[in-house]
């Protein structure tokens, strides 16, 4: 079975609630790279609070991406520990 591509807006906010956990490993890097191409360098990834498994997965992905300058859990008004704020490097990398 082949799934049709899902078109998501590239606006600096990625809500992972609508995706399967197995899609995150490819989705997050692709989304962040597209943000960089469009000049969006501050991104919020919404992973939810839950058990923390998805958050840990997202953080592991972010830690290995050269285009990521930094990341941290969001403040309370931006989702708290249910979201991660990502700063992307400008230019190549």
**Please, what are the domains in the chain?**
13-78 (3.30.1370)
Give the residue, 50 or 24, on which the prediction is more confident.
Answer: 24
**Mean pLDDT on 72-85:** 84
Q: How does pLDDT run across 26-76, given as a tens digit for each residue?
A: 999 999 999 999 999 999 999 998 888 999 999 999 999 999 999 999 987
The CB density around residue 22, as the number of other CB atoms within 10 Å, is 8
Contact 84, 72 (CB under 8 A): yes
Q: Is the pLDDT of residue 11 over 90?
A: yes
Predicted local confidence at residue 4, as pLDDT: 63
**Mean pLDDT on 5-15:** 84
- Composition of the chain by helix, strand, coil, percent to 5: 40, 20, 40
Give the residue, 69 or 21, on which the prediction is more confident.
Answer: 69
Contact 76, 57 (CB under 8 A): no
d(CA 42, CA 7): 20
Q: Is the pLDDT of residue 93 over 70?
A: no
Predicted local confidence at residue 1, as pLDDT: 47
Predicted local confidence at residue 12, as pLDDT: 95
Locate 45 and state its tokens: 């990834």
């Amino acid at each position: 079975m082949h799934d049709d591509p899902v078109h998501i807006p590239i606006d600096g906010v990625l809500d992972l609630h609508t995706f399967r956990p197995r899609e995150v490993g490819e989705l997050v890097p692709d989304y962040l790279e597209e943000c960089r191409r469009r000049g969006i360098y501050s991104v919020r990834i919404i992973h939810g609070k839950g058990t923390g498994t998805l958050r840990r997965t997202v953080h592991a992905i972010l830690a290995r991406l050269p285009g990521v300058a930094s990341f941290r859990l969001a403040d309370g008004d931006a989702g708290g520990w249910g979201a991660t704020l990502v700063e992307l490097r400008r230019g190549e990398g």
